[in-house]
A and B are shown apart, each in its own frame.
Chain A
Amino acid sequence: MVTAAQIWEWVIKSLIIILVLTGGFAYVTLYERKVLARIQARVGPNRAGPFGLLQPVADGIKLIFKEELTPAGADKLLFTLAPVITVIPALVVTAVIPWGESVTLFGKTYTLYLTDVNVAILYIMAVTSISVYGIALAGWSSNNKYATLGGLRATAQMISYELALGLSFVGPILLTGSMSMLEIVRAQQKLWFIFLQPAGFVLFLAASLAEVNRAPFDMPEAEQELTAGYHAEYSGMKFALFFMAEYIKMIAVSMIGATLFLGGYLSPLTMLSGLPVIGWLFASGPHWLFLKVALWLFFMIWVRATLPRIRYDRLMQLGWKIMFPLGLVNVIVTAAVIVLAGG
């Protein structure tokens, strides 16, 4: 039976997840601008607040007071719904990621995850594919050639790389024998899966970049040829929603990747957790997950600063002719090793 206390616990945990993601989104934009600036020997935003820390607030307030345009000939209902449909999957996809085991507050033990469903990976695959709808609808409803083309490209790209992404999930599932994220993290106590699944890790890294439309796979938004792609006609808060969805998806894939391959919330330095005063820093917990996510995001920004965008035909060929077969080979080899080695 579900009690009222349980429902409140779920509501509070959901709110924490959503607040961390939206707050994280605001500061990832600043993080990205700062890191890109440093890579390009600039300083980056430093006027709004100390070290530019209030820049996301300034950006948000500016966007709230901007005029929103709906182009003539646009499908008004879909045009308004599309950004909402894009942001919802981004907000809910991390609900199955555990942040830690449990914590005791005021004499009561709380688990550090919203829920531990036994089909967590299927849930992630299902939810990420919904965000394709928002982008396709945004491109189509705008009544703008560039937006339509951007939406089409984004759709074809995202569905093509979803195959490789799905196959890269299979490695950790095979090694764990479960789809539950908590079980997957627990199975990595001795050795992170990045060492057992190096090919799967590389596949995940590349496919996830394509899945969130990040450089070098940011063809849907190629400003030189499509102005801004599927969100060319969006302004004000509707644009902000697309922006939010993109950055939250970056955080989400980093969390998923860190959980599947980098041991999630596990600390690699647990032997130091007995130290006085600073011991908790080395114990497993949410701070390790956040550290891994921050490093992963840094890598994504670094890639954007370094690699040029790849051509669209090459992009599709990479997905269908290299990554998909590679994913299959990786699955078969992993499965064969597990069966032959006797589990």
Chain B
Amino acid sequence: MFEDYLPLLVILALAVLIGFIVVLLGVLFGPRRPTPRKMAPYESGMVPYGPGRRRMSVRYYLIAVLFILFDIEVVFVVSWAVVLRKLGTLGLLGMLVFLVVLEVAHLYAWKKGALEWD
């Protein structure tokens, strides 16, 4: 059982290696002649103004929180889907109750305007 996962570690190690080799290639072969102009943030040729990192809209946080809530729901649904045939009608009804509760939460967020972008 555990052996099924070992190949995933092998390919992960190789992928990490390849990622760093590619970065290294650029470091080894690329020229390096920095000037203050070149190092300035790129703003389509205009002189950059203000800080590069600004305060972000609170909507992004809302989306992130809602995502966590509903993504956990999706993970529950995925694992339930594997055993649905064994659970039968009761399993279907149980999931239906769970989904209705979450859908109420979804509708609440919707009506409160958490999903609006303006």
Contact = CB atoms under 8 A, between A and B. Distances in A.
Interface of A: 2, 7, 10-11, 13-15, 17-18, 22, 63-73, 80, 83-84, 87-88, 91-92, 95-96, 114-118, 121-123, 125, 140, 142-148, 152, 155-156, 159-160, 162-163, 166-167, 169-170, 173-174, 177-179, 227, 232-233, 236-238, 240-241, 244, 312-313, 316-317, 320-321, 324-325, 328, 331-332, 335-336, 338-339, 343
B50 A145 contact: yes
Instruction: Decide if the interface of chain A is mainly helix, strand, loop or mixed.
Output: helix
B39 A71 contact: yes
Interface in B1-50: 3-8, 10-12, 14-16, 18-20, 22-23, 25-27, 29-34, 36, 38-44, 50
A92 B8 contact: yes
In this complex, which of A63, A238, A320 has the most chain B Cβ atoms within 10 angstroms of its Cβ?
A: A320
Interface string B70-105: 110011011101111100110110011001000100
B38 A69 contact: yes
In this complex, which of B27, B52, B64, B66 has the most chain A Cβ atoms within 10 angstroms of its Cβ?
A: B52
A87 B14 CA distance: 12
A162 B85 contact: no
Contact of A115 (B7, B23, B66): B7
Query: Closest 7 CB pairs between A and B?
Result: A237-B26, A143-B52, A313-B117, A166-B74, A84-B19, A91-B15, A14-B11
B26 A68 contact: yes
Given A88-B15, A170-B77, A335-B81, A95 B41 contact: no
Nearest to B38: A69
A148 B77 contact: no
Given A91-B19, A335-B84, 18 more contacts: A2-B6, A10-B6, A18-B11, A67-B33, A73-B52, A114-B8, A117-B5, A122-B79, A144-B41, A148-B53, A156-B63, A159-B64, A166-B75, A179-B78, A233-B42, A324-B106, A331-B77, A338-B85
B110 interface: yes
A339 B41 contact: no
A244 to B, nearest CB: 8
Nearest to A338: B84
A115 B4 CA distance: 6
Nearest to A153: B60
Q: Size range of the interface on B? A: 35 or more
A64 B26 contact: yes
B70 A142 contact: no
A64 B67 contact: no
Given A2-B3, A320-B115, A335-B84, A121 B30 contact: no
Contacts of A96: 8
Contacts of A15: 14
Nearest to A239: B26
Contacts of B54: 145, 148
Contact of A64 (B14, B30, B59): B30
B44 A227 contact: yes
A13 B7 contact: yes
B84 A339 contact: yes
Contacts of A114: 7-8, 11
A17 B11 contact: yes
Contacts of A22: 18
10 contacts: A10-B11, A14-B14, A65-B29, A95-B7, A148-B53, A166-B75, A166-B78, A237-B25, A338-B84, A339-B84
B99 A142 contact: no
A70 B39 contact: yes
Contacts of B85: 177, 338, 343
B100 to A, nearest CB: 10
Contacts of A238: 23, 26
